[in-house]
Amino acid sequence: MFISLGKFIVRRKKSVFVLFIIAIIAAGGIGSLAFAKLDSGGYSDPKSDSAKAATYISDTFHVKDPAAILVVRSNNDVTDPVAVSDAASLESAIKAEKGVAKTLSYWSAGGALTLVSQDKKAAYFFIYSTEVDPLKAKDLGKIIETKYEGTYKSFRVYAGGMSVFNYAISTKISKDLAVAESLSIPLTFILLAFVFGSLIASAMPLVVGLSAILGAFFFIYLITLFTGVSIFALNLITGMGLGLGIDYALLIVNRFREEIHHGKTVEDAIVKTVATAGKTVFYSGITVIITLASLLFFPQMFLKSFGYAGVTVVAMAILGALIPLPAILAMLGNRVDKLVVRKSAITPKEDGRWAQTARFVMRRPVTVVVLSLIVLGIIAAPVKSVVFSQVDSRVMPASAPVAQTAEIMAKYFPGQEGNPIEFIIPKGASMGTQILDFANQVAKVPGVVRVNPSEVAGDTVRFTAIHSMGARTPAAEKMINEIRALPHPQGTLVGGVAADYSDSQNGISRTLPFALGWIVLGVLILLFLFTGSVILPIKAVLLNVLSLSAMMGAMTWIFVEGHLMWLVGKFTVTGTIDTSMVILVAVVTFGLSMDYEVFLLSRIKEEHDAGKSNIEAVATGLQRSARIITAAAMLLAIVFAAFLTSGVTSIKTLGFGVAFAILVDASIVRGLLVPALMRLFGERNWWAPQWMKRFTITH
């Protein structure tokens, strides 16, 4: 198949190139429409009890969550005539804004005590949107943030709520992404010129990167027509698009040069390159796709979004590496080495530093394995202190208005008025005594400030409770679990933001074993088909677990315990780390690690199949692939490390986690542990039952 593809590309190289240009222009134009459709939410489990409660609240009781919440603070008591007058003026102005369905404030609610601060100098404004889903009221969030945040007459106004947070974080991520790209892209191209050795060759990752990024944007736009997609997916698309562009271009260009230097014609070199490096790219990419597809198992839109983004960007990178890149190389021929920057990079050595390193490691395999495991164990040790949660306003910089609003709410108000616990009892109209007993028990649960009176719609009863802690925290999850453990009327549904958070965490825990099973089984099968070995796939999975453990330990030490801010930049230390982001980083790094594993094993197997001994196959394979893996890892780390410039903690986590994991993987794991273990296992590396051999891929 790959030989036929190579021959076709050589014959139709100009047509392939023209179609590539047309395709990326069309994909970029259509894909750009996706940006306005992306959401900042998506952490809920749509099949949970809290989601069912939300449906009752909306459909039966016709109650909506406020799209925006204002805290207005006065120098005087909120009942002061000036404050009353200014509040009326503010509420009137907000009601006139586009997208506002209604408002509710301390003053318009007749001086409701639940809407005023303990010192009587601050009060709430709740703003409801005409949108059914407050998270989609991004335009309203923009109006409230840009027009009302700050000073209004005698008030200091603080803006928060779902739509404001959605607008603020979307804007922040877009700006931070532009900054990260402005830093990473020029630096990456400078290093690409050094790694590829010539300016012409260093432009080749653009072919694959543009195919991956713009192609993924196009498919993400199509997906947004049917379901929600998180704005955070943009960071994964750009990071992986550039990273895989570098990885795959390095592999293809390096093999093309190798064949040219062995005396082949340009046409024969292209066919051989597609048949060898192209095949490696294909199976490597499929391995990454299988890994990232595991994110589609999770119920949360946030994680599904990364599944959509990851699968599409990798698939487009494979296509870019297998079709337009060989076509361009076929047109360039020997001119790919024009404008030389570093001559030694153009003609790789047959026997050099990496081969010598491999032989050194294989002379002392036990020592290398033990020392490597000790180092990785020390790095992984802090993971015992990890605490999981979800993002809230503290994910933004402390100086951000939306973060300051949350701080003001916590400081001056006794409970989370805008985030009550919701209790829905279908067919509860005849359960008066039971419901009253249940409500009294709820009021005694630690963290509950008070329980509000119930209301009835048809035969369904609803009441709410106000709690004191942040809604998306481990403390809130514990509170919800205690409430659900209480004796309660049959059919009771517990909802609200805290319950939604608890259900989301439970949804992740419930789904994780299936996702892990999918990854492990898929990778084991694919690597077996590729290598013909039972041992090598098992070792690959176990080594990746070591990389992930080290990454988790480092992330815990930094983002949970608050170390190393001089390197990663300032962020609000919450003592927790976002569960969804940890899942994402782990899956992405596992996929990229398998990418490098296939690169390495492919070349070792090629040398072994050519008749070399296990030791020489490893040494030669490492010499010919480790340079590519190390360069690719370094460049990919730069792409993701640029995300550390973001002010959003989740993006910092993504950037650090991926960059750290791939550097550890490319150095300690691929450079030391793999050759050491290959030496210890010897020819047993390639063992498989004879009956299984017929299922392997012929190289």
Q: What is the pLDDT of residue 247?
A: 85
Mutual angle of helices 614-641 and 162-196, in 10-degree steps: 130
Q: Does the residue 297 lie in any domain?
A: yes
- Tally the C-alpha atoms within 13 A of residue 167's C-alpha that lie toward its C-beta: 20
Residue 619 to residue 20: CA distance in whole angstroms: 38
Query: Cβ atoms within 10 A of the Cβ of 347, count?
Result: 12
Nearest C-alpha neighbor of 491 from the set 457, 461, 453, 455: 461
Tell me, yes or no, whether 571 and 685 share the same domain: yes
State yes or no: pLDDT of 628 exceeds 90. no
Please give the share of the chain, as a percent, with pLDDT higher than 70: 96
Among the residues of 337-431, which ranges form H helices? 343-346, 353-363, 365-380, 401-412
State yes or no: pLDDT of 344 exceeds 70. no
Nearest C-alpha neighbor of 527 from the set 519, 518, 536: 536
Residue 39 to residue 166: CA distance in whole angstroms: 7
Exposure string of 218-250, with b = 16+ CB inside 10 Å and e = fewer, is bbbbebbeeebbbbbbbbbbbbbbbbbbbbbbb
Do 145 and 161 meet the contact criterion of CB atoms below 8 Å apart? Answer: no
Residue 622 to residue 60: CA distance in whole angstroms: 65
Tens-place pLDDT, residues 131-189: 866 666 778 888 999 999 999 999 999 998 888 888 888 888 888 888 887 888 788 88
Number of domains comprising the chain: 4
Q: Stretch 501-517: mean pLDDT, rounded?
A: 92
Tens-place pLDDT, residues 220-259: 999 999 888 888 788 789 888 888 888 898 889 888 888 8
Q: Does the residue 178 lie in any domain?
A: no
Pairing relation of β-strands 493-495 and 421-425?
antiparallel
Q: What is the pLDDT of residue 352?
A: 59
What pTM was computed for the model? 0.83
Pairing relation of β-strands 460-467 and 448-451?
antiparallel
CATH of residue 158's domain is: 3.30.70.1320
Do 424 and 460 meet the contact criterion of CB atoms below 8 Å apart? Answer: yes
Tell me, yes or no, whether 382 and 485 share the same domain: no
Q: What is the pLDDT of residue 345?
A: 60
Residue 350 to residue 256: CA distance in whole angstroms: 15
Do 314 and 292 meet the contact criterion of CB atoms below 8 Å apart? Answer: yes
Residue where the block lists tokens 């990418």: 595
| CA 51 to mean position of chain CA atoms | 24
Q: What is the pLDDT of residue 26?
A: 92
Q: What is the pLDDT of residue 438?
A: 93
Tens-place pLDDT, residues 78-100: 899 999 999 999 999 999 999 89
Three-state secondary structure call for residue 683: helix
Q: What is the pLDDT of residue 348?
A: 58
Tell me, yes or no, whether 125 and 95 share the same domain: yes
Q: Does the residue 180 lie in any domain?
A: no
Contacts of residue 650, Cβ cutoff 8 Å, sequence gap at least 6: 232, 391, 395, 578, 581
- Residue 378 — pLDDT band, cuts 50, 70, 90? very high
Q: Mind giving me the DSSP string for 668-694?
A: IIIIIIHHHHHHHHGGGGG---HHHHT
- Residue 110 — pLDDT band, cuts 50, 70, 90? confident
Nearest C-alpha neighbor of 540 from the set 661, 660, 673, 663: 673
State yes or no: pLDDT of 349 exceeds 70. no
Which of 149, 166, 183 is at the close of a domain? 166
Q: Does the residue 436 lie in any domain?
A: yes
Q: Mind giving me the DSSP string for 437-506?
A: HHHHHHHTSTTEEEEPPPEEETTEEEEEEEESS-TTSHHHHHHHHHHHTS---TT-EEESHHHHHHHHHH
State yes or no: pLDDT of 646 exceeds 70. yes
State yes or no: pLDDT of 520 exceeds 60. yes
Ramachandran sector of residue 74 (left: φ over 0; alpha: ψ -120 to 50; beta: rest): beta
Residue where the block lists tokens 């067919």: 427
Q: What is the pLDDT of residue 291?
A: 93
Q: Does the residue 176 lie in any domain?
A: no
Q: What is the pLDDT of residue 548?
A: 92
Query: Cβ atoms within 10 A of the Cβ of 637, count?
Result: 19
Residue 647 to residue 395: CA distance in whole angstroms: 8
Mean pLDDT of the chain: 87
Q: Does the residue 183 lie in any domain?
A: no
Give CA angle at 185 (233, 342), nearest 5°.
140
Q: What is the pLDDT of residue 699?
A: 52
Q: What is the pLDDT of residue 46?
A: 87
- Tally the C-alpha atoms within 13 A of residue 201's C-alpha that lie toward its C-beta: 32
Residue where the block lists tokens 């009835």: 456
In 76-216, at which residue ranges do the beta strands (DSSP E only) sit?
100-105, 122-129, 150-152, 155-160
Nearest C-alpha neighbor of 173 from the set 396, 433, 328, 437: 396
Tell me, yes or no, whether 260 and 384 share the same domain: no
Q: Does the residue 680 lie in any domain?
A: yes
State yes or no: pLDDT of 507 exceeds 80. yes
Which residue segment(s) compose the domain that 261 sits in? 1-37+197-348
Three-state secondary structure call for residue 690: helix
Tens-place pLDDT, residues 445-483: 999 988 988 899 889 999 999 998 878 888 899 999 999
State yes or no: pLDDT of 293 exceeds 90. yes
Residue where the block lists tokens 């023209």: 18
| CA 439 to mean position of chain CA atoms | 40
CATH of residue 446's domain is: 3.30.70
Tens-place pLDDT, residues 10-52: 888 889 889 989 988 998 889 888 887 877 667 788 889 999 9
Q: Does the residue 546 lie in any domain?
A: yes
Residue where the block lists tokens 């530093």: 353
Q: Stretch 188-194: mean pLDDT, rounded?
A: 82
Q: What is the pLDDT of residue 532?
A: 84
Tell me, yes or no, whether 528 and 469 share the same domain: no
Which of 502, 534, 549 is at the close of a domain? 502
- Residue 617 — pLDDT band, cuts 50, 70, 90? confident
Q: What is the pLDDT of residue 479?
A: 95
State yes or no: pLDDT of 408 exceeds 90. no
| Six token digits for residue 14 | 């100009």
**Edge to edge, what strands does the sheet with 150-152 contain?**
100-105, 122-129, 68-74, 155-160, 150-152
Tell me, yes or no, whether 148 and 207 share the same domain: no
Type of residue at 260: I
Do 659 and 505 meet the contact criterion of CB atoms below 8 Å apart? Answer: no
Tell me, yes or no, whether 340 and 362 share the same domain: no
Tell me, yes or no, whether 394 and 413 share the same domain: no
Tell me, yes or no, whether 510 and 608 share the same domain: yes
More confident residue, 336 or 561: 561
Exposed/middle/buried for residue 447 (C-beta within 10 Å: 0-12, 13-18, 19+): buried
| Six token digits for residue 555 | 């992330």
Tell me, yes or no, whether 221 and 302 share the same domain: yes
State yes or no: pLDDT of 270 exceeds 80. yes
Tell me, yes or no, whether 143 and 155 share the same domain: yes
Type of residue at 290: I
CATH of residue 244's domain is: 1.20.1640.10
Which of 478, 502, 526 is at the close of a domain? 502
Q: Which helix (H) or strand (E) holds 68?
A: strand 68-74
- Residue 439 — pLDDT band, cuts 50, 70, 90? very high
Tell me, yes or no, whether 520 and 669 share the same domain: yes
3-class DSSP string for 406-425: HHHHHHHCCCCCCCCEEEEE
| Six token digits for residue 22 | 């047309």
Dihedral sign (CA 530, 533, 538, 540): negative
More confident residue, 370 or 264: 370
Residue 603 to residue 413: CA distance in whole angstroms: 64
Do 42 and 170 meet the contact criterion of CB atoms below 8 Å apart? Answer: no
